[in-house]
Amino acid sequence: LAMTGDRAASELSPQKLRPIQRSLSEESIATVAALPGMILRSHSIHVGAAGRHSEVTCSIRPSSTKAALKAVQQEQRTWRRKHEQQNSRTDDIPTTLKSSFAMKESYWIDIETPPRSTEELSDFLYQLRLPPFFVSILSEPATWTSEVVALQFISLAIFQILPADPESDEIAHVALLSMPRLLVTFSTFPKNEEADGLYNLVHQYMKQRERVPEPTSSGLLLAWLQFHVRRTATALRKLRARAVEMDNELDQDFQNFDFEDLVEAKDCLLNVLSVAEEQHGTIDALSAAEKGSEGFNFSNCCAALSVLEAHASSNERLSSRVDKHLNELRERIMAHREDNINQKMALLTILSAVFMPLTLLTGIWGMNFESMPELEMKGAYQKALLGMLILALCMVYSFQRAGFTAHP
């Protein structure tokens, strides 16, 4: 779901927006107090020296939430002045409010919290000077779905990711709040799990050279998205390698092949496939929502956005191919099982056909008639057994010539 600034703003009542605007422009910003058990990390992104090819590099350093909110406050004041100046013009020359923050210091706030009540999260989120519309969404993490909501100055994207625990079947979402010079990532984690595992991986990824395409909130957003898209790609490549391995095991020893491995791989693929599809759709919505919001500004990192879209699309195609491969393996296993059943049924059919005439003869000679000449013949019993044996061998030979006893 992508909502442009005008459309989303029209859905918010002025009574709700007015107190938030006043708090951003008039009230002093205090230090944000984290809730018990909540992990609140603040970073600043600095522009580093140019590299060998004159590219701009970025460095991530510890910072404070108060400094980040002040930077956003300054940018909003600047944006409002430009907006008022544009509205006061009498000429018809079109202008744009999009501005460049490439040379200014940007910030990243990462928030992770265990499950909490809606009231606790709402009270905490209001410290970040967020619109009530966003607070109502973020305060209920259990209801999150992949979506993009873009207002004029701030944008929200809820992005589905793979859980930190590879064995977990839970659906994990992260809320991304993007505004000029600030990116906020907000997520929850179960009480029995550690919160630092996934954050440390993201942080180490962003600190690597040239991972952040631009030292802005939008550049940070693209780097953060690229990390999780690559995690999805890694999981898909592992599933593809596992599918190839199971294919070889099936060719070498079908009898000892564990069908539960295929079922487990299929279940895992369904989870990853869902994540890949949701990620691709959310990234497309982000690209479409850029035009209506100051929260997204990909004008200086279009190449990185294009690469991200290509990777997300590639993940979706790769997941479809792996799904097709696993379905083919399942069909092969079912075909092998049907062949085994058919072979057993063929054996039972042959045995039934062989013993049918023998049963007929036994039934005839077992009738209680007084006059049965063949019973008084010399050696009748031995001749009857020999005749039955010859008849059975002839029938088996005929079935073999007809191919009924041949194994594939």
Mean pLDDT (whole number) for 43-65: 71
Say which residues have a Cβ less than 8 Å from residue 7's Cβ, sequence separation at least 6: 292
* Encoded amino acid at 304, one letter: A
The pLDDT confidence band at residue 14, using thresholds 50, 70 and 90, is: very low
The percent of residues in the chain predicted with pLDDT above 70, rounded, is 82
Residues forming a β-bridge with 109: 42, 184
* Helix extents (H) in 180-258: 196-207, 217-252
Q: Transcribe 109-132 into DSSP letters.
A: EEEEE----HHHHHHHHGGGT--H
Residues forming a β-bridge with 404: none
Please tell me the predicted confidence (pLDDT) of residue 407. Answer: 54
CA distance 303 to 344: 62
Please tell me the predicted confidence (pLDDT) of residue 277. Answer: 93
CA distance 253 to 250: 6
The side-by-side arrangement of strands in the sheet containing 106-113 is 2-3, 147-150, 155-161, 172-179, 182-188, 106-113, 39-47, 58-62
Ramachandran assignment for 68, one of left (phi > 0), alpha (psi -120 to 50 degrees), beta (any other): alpha
The pLDDT confidence band at residue 260, using thresholds 50, 70 and 90, is: confident
Please tell me the predicted confidence (pLDDT) of residue 13. Answer: 39
Say if residue 27's pLDDT is above 70: no
Quick one: CA dihedral 303, 304, 305, 311, positive or negative? positive
The pLDDT confidence band at residue 405, using thresholds 50, 70 and 90, is: low
The percent of residues in the chain predicted with pLDDT above 90, rounded, is 26
Please tell me the predicted confidence (pLDDT) of residue 110. Answer: 92
The pLDDT confidence band at residue 50, using thresholds 50, 70 and 90, is: low
Please tell me the predicted confidence (pLDDT) of residue 89. Answer: 59
Mean pLDDT (whole number) for 71-77: 82
What are the pLDDT digits (tens) for 357-403? 888 888 888 887 777 787 778 888 888 888 888 988 888 888 888 77
The pLDDT confidence band at residue 80, using thresholds 50, 70 and 90, is: confident
Q: Is 21 exposed, middle or buried (0-12, 13-18, 19+ CB in 10 A)?
A: middle
Please tell me the predicted confidence (pLDDT) of residue 49. Answer: 55
Say if residue 276's pLDDT is above 90: yes
Q: How many residues does the chain have?
A: 408
What are the pLDDT digits (tens) for 123-160? 998 888 888 889 999 999 989 999 999 888 889 999 99
The pLDDT confidence band at residue 197, using thresholds 50, 70 and 90, is: low
Say which residues have a Cβ less than 8 Å from residue 140's Cβ, sequence separation at least 6: 118, 121
Cα separations (Å) of 37 from 152, 173, 187, 251? 33, 19, 13, 52
pTM recorded for the entire structure = 0.74
- Distance from the Cα of residue 320 to its chain's centroid: 13
Instruction: Kindly report the average pLDDT of the chain as a whole number.
Output: 80
Say if residue 229's pLDDT is above 80: yes
The pLDDT confidence band at residue 72, using thresholds 50, 70 and 90, is: confident
